[in-house]
Structure 1
Amino acid sequence: MYQDLRKDYWWPGMKFNVMQYVNKCLTCAQVKAEHQKPYGYVQTLEVPEWKWEHITMDFITKLPLTAKRHDTIWVIVVRLTKSAHFLPIRETYTSERLSELFVKEIITRHGVPVSIVTAYHPQTNGQSERTIQTLEDMLRACIIDFGGSWDDHLPLVEFSYNNSYHASIGMPPYEALYGRRCRKPVCWGGVGQKEVGSKAAVIELTEKLQLVKARMKAAQDRQKSYADKRRRPIEFEVGDQVLLKFSPWKEVIRFRKRGKLSLRFIGPFRIIARVGKVAYRLDLPDELSGIHPTFHISHLRKCLVDDVAYVPLNDIEVDERLNYIEEPVAIVDTKEKQLRNKMIRQVKVQWKHRKGFEATWETEDEMKRLYPHLFET
């Protein structure tokens, strides 16, 4: 804009005035990508005092469907000892079903945790993400070497992971959890009676936990120093206007409506309170009443637009994590499609996604796998 104007006009401070004008454009602020360092220094979590009191959890979805009808892995990691449980589940499990599984597999063995850090917590230091990377690599290797379904190899993968050396704690998770190395089938050394409950064993376990916590603190400080070099500080005041970043699901592309061309930011919204060092509470409209109003600073962008410049969100349906919700409502029609070598059945599905979206033709087998409740009636 400045290059176009300077050909015919000039006034003192012209370039600065043009920059201010562009910064106040709501459309530009909502769609332009960020090319600067992200906001907010890393705020590391405190090192836990005891085992299985503080955990993280995440889900690996969209895996190949196995013979046992599993397509998702629930990854649960202990923050102190780094020991993990990998639970095969289905993506369609309800929260009640997951709660029952959590009680059966975790609480009955280790007790009730004090805190749970989920995948959308912005300060996990990549704990769950790094574990998931390792798990996926191990599953790929098992499938290549042994074949079969991935859930058949999951118990041995968990055993191998928990008995592998971790640099952040300086020992395998099993040793950090139980105070001694696990007896592996590769070498059955040390067979015989062992004294487990001696005073020396308790002292050794306590010393190892102190060593683990010291190594974790050093690893966190090292990770923080690396991450902060690629970040920049910023602070907002109560009453400031900000834009909120949200991420549409990739499946939105199937609707041929926006998809990748969706807005990067929505708003503006007014800050009503500061929560901690790197989080703020926003005054969200009624359309977003189901979303928790506190957000990390990395999800916010400063907005210089006037208060009256507000785009309503009546036509957008998002969940509590600011994702588009893809949910089929009903099957309105069926047909058969002839391919080169076979005939496939298709169903026309009406989606509850965004107002005005038309129904789409989908493969019947795929819809039965993902949404079996549509075919019950």
Structure 2
Amino acid sequence: MEDSFAYAKDKWDKSHATPYFKVGDLVCVSTTNFNQIKGCKMLKDTFAGPFFIKALHGEIAVELELSEELSNKHPTFPVSSIKPYKSTDAEKFPLRNKSLQVIPPIESSGIKKITKVVKERKLRTNQVREYLVRYSDPTCEDEWLTEKDIPKLINFSKGSNTLEITILQSHIIF
């Protein structure tokens, strides 16, 4: 029995080196117990950082200088949940240093062309009607316009409990 314990200990010690940290080292913190990080848990990073070590609490805990995003977390973490930070080598990964090119947005003219009236709603106890209009320009979002905003653009004809809206003149100048 003692031989099997010794064998298991030797195997563990070969693959698990005890990390020794110093004040000022850069480390990353495991995010497995971080609940306040927004978004899907599957897509969040497994480690956050790098952070500087501010103080050591024996060999089992480390106090870190956290960023503003994690300022509400307690700054002391166990050694088991941190790992040393390794920066990437620029020669091995040359594409990581290149900045992403920002594609400028498409400038749209001041004229918006209405292609479709999507919905109708009544506000303030049926005193004001608004219409959700869709524009032909894909950069313009759908928006709610009142009857006053589009007086000559739409022809309204009420039939049997249905509202037919026809676009007469489809240009709005802002």
TM bin (shorter chain): 0.3 to 0.5
The higher radius of gyration belongs to: 2
TM-score normalised by length of structure 1: 0.19
More strand by share: 2
More helix by share: 1
TM-score normalised by length of structure 2: 0.38
